[in-house]
């Protein structure tokens, strides 16, 4: 399978970013000091819903910049860091998130990338993995270990790394879809100024929670709306294969998925109502994401079965959502939602412990 070239993807995303920034739709969740910012959550929800309804392209290249980087900088950045980066993000500065490592994903606090302070710099050595679009990023939100003596969460520091610094090597990872959506990032004696530290040394774990919670349910809201509006694609796939009327079995399966999409939208709506009321939506978000991952997989699996591999050699679209109608691509791509942002098993642990009150998962050794 092939898709657009990196150049085509970047050019399109840059142009789409300019359009959404100038209309104010890219920064609705920023604070009111910024163009387009300061909109209430209700309006942010409407923008996400309308973009989904229009089947507008997703700003995948700038997702980390606009949510994770911007909101973390607004809460924790010094005035200098904010002045350096927030206008630059509006101009198209691309950020990636360097949190996961080969042995620190679900158990993120086990990260081992080491930073040693020497004068007014940190010297960083280690490896990050699964950094979305890091090969195209200008800056990286980087979690490093500065202390190994106490509890593992207590020795983590948060740095802002220029990805063009000497000693940074980015290697794209090719997925089974043919796309290269991630990169590994190797760090060898990378010099990062202390002025690029966010918050205090060893305070990184707390700051990382701001990053991880930055999109407050808006992504799943938008994705579930996209799935809802893409139901015709599944009907189309079934109709194309079987004539005007789908066979009973397929029709039953499609109806089942459509009902589950309605349930998803109801759950999302309840979650957003809780968010509007200022409640902690953590456990609810786990439940909703689990349901989304499962419905999306089922939706893409039905489409793939109905089209019987017809799209295997078709070019794929990137940034067009997860239900593009290229069923082979969509089916493979749907797997990422059972891992990204916390795997299904981790979400189930959260639901079991925090919603159902079951005994806590045995913590891995520190
Ligand atoms: C689409 C996508 C985008 C991503 N983007 C980024 C990014 O930009 N930056 C970044 O830093 N990372 C990113 N990641 C990485 C992501 O955060 C990790 O893949 C995720 O946290 C899981 O970690 P892991 O891959 O190391 O798997 P592991 O943590 O090694 O888990 C392996 C398996 O063991 C299971 N498991 C682990 N712990 C438990 C437990 N306690 N109980 C039960 N089962 C358990 C998991 O569910 C999984 O099935 C991305 C991942 C995806 C898929």
pLDDT at position 177, please?
A: 85
Residue 215 known to be catalytic: yes
Contacts of 357 (CB under 8 A, 6+ apart): none
Total-model pTM: 0.94
Measure 209 CA to ligand 1 centroid, in angstroms.
16
Residue 41 beta carbon below 6 angstroms from any ligand 1 atom? no
Euclidean distance between CA atoms 342 and 270, whole angstroms: 21
CATH class of 218-355: mainly alpha
Query: Residue 41: which residues within 8 A CB-CB, separation 6 or more?
Result: 216, 272, 275, 276
In the reported structure, the alpha carbon of residue 35 is separated from the centroid of ligand 1 by a whole-number distance in angstroms of 35
CA 179 from centre of chain? 16
- Tens digits of residue pLDDT in 181-230: 999 999 999 999 999 999 999 999 999 999 998 888 899 999 999 999 99
pLDDT in tens, 221-272: 999 999 999 999 998 888 755 555 557 788 889 999 999 999 999 999 999 9
Whether residue 65 has pLDDT greater than 60: yes
Q: What is the pLDDT of residue 248?
A: 79
Percent of the chain that is helix, strand, coil (3-state, to 5) = 50, 15, 35
Would you call 158 helix, strand, or coil by DSSP?
Answer: strand
Q: Which of 215, 225, 304, 323 is catalytic?
A: 215
CATH of domain 95-203: 2.40.110.10
Per the prediction, the chain carries an average pLDDT of 92
Confidence of residue 316 (pLDDT cuts 50, 70, 90): confident
Residue ranges of domains in the chain: 6-90, 95-203, 218-355
Condensed to tens digits (0 to 9), the pLDDT of residues 162-173 reads 999 999 999 999
> Whose structure tokens read 């913590």?
363
pLDDT tens column, 15-63: 999 999 999 999 999 999 999 999 999 999 999 999 999 999 999 999 9
The pair phi, psi for residue 356, each rounded to 5°, is -90, -5
Residues forming beta bridges with residue 185, ordered by sequence position: 128, 170
Q: Is 343 in the pocket of ligand 1 (CB under 6 A)?
A: yes
Share of the chain above pLDDT 90, in %: 77
Q: Which residue has the higher pLDDT, 177 or 303?
A: 303
Comparing 319 with 118, which gets the higher pLDDT? 118
């Amino acid at each position: 399978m092939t898709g657009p070239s990196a150049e085509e993807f970047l050019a399109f995303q840059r142009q789409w970013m300019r359009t959404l920034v100038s209309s104010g739709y890219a920064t609705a969740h920023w604070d009111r000091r910024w163009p387009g910012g300061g909109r209430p959550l209700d309006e942010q929800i409407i923008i996400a819903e309308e973009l989904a309804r229009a089947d507008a392209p997703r700003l995948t290249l700038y997702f980390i910049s606009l949510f994770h980087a911007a909101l973390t900088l607004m809460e924790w950045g010094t005035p200098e860091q904010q002045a350096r980066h927030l206008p630059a993000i509006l101009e198209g500065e691309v950020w990636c998130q360097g949190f996961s490592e080969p042995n620190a994903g679900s158990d993120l606090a086990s990260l081992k990338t080491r930073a040693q302070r020497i004068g007014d710099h940190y010297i960083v050595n280690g490896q990050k993995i699964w950094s979305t679009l890091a090969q195209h990023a200008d800056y990286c939100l980087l979690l490093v270990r500065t202390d190994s003596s106490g509890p593992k969460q207590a020795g983590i520091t948060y740095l802002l790394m220029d990805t063009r610094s000497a000693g940074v090597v980015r290697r794209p990872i090719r997925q089974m879809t043919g796309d290269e959506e991630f990169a590994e990032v190797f760090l060898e004696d990378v010099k990062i100024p202390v002025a690029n530290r966010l918050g205090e040394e060893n305070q990184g774990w707390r700051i990382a929670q701001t990053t991880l919670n930055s999109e407050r349910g808006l992504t799943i809201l938008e994705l579930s709306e996209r799935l809802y509006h893409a139901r015709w694609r599944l009907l189309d796939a079934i109709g194309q294969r079987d004539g005007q009327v789908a066979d009973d079995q397929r029709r039953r399966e499609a109806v089942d998925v459509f009902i589950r999409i309605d349930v998803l939208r109801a759950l999302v709506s309840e979650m957003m109502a809780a968010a509007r009321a200022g409640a902690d939506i953590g456990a609810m978000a786990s439940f909703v994401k689990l349901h989304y991952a499962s419905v999306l997989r089922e939706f893409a699996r039905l489409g793939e079965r109905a089209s019987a591999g017809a799209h295997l050699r078709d070019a794929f679209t990137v940034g067009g959502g997860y239900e593009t109608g290229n069923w082979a691509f969509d089916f493979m791509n749907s797997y990422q939602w059972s891992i990204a942002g916390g795997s299904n098993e981790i979400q189930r642990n959260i639901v079991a412990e925090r919603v159902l009150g079951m005994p806590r998962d045995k913590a891995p050794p520190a």
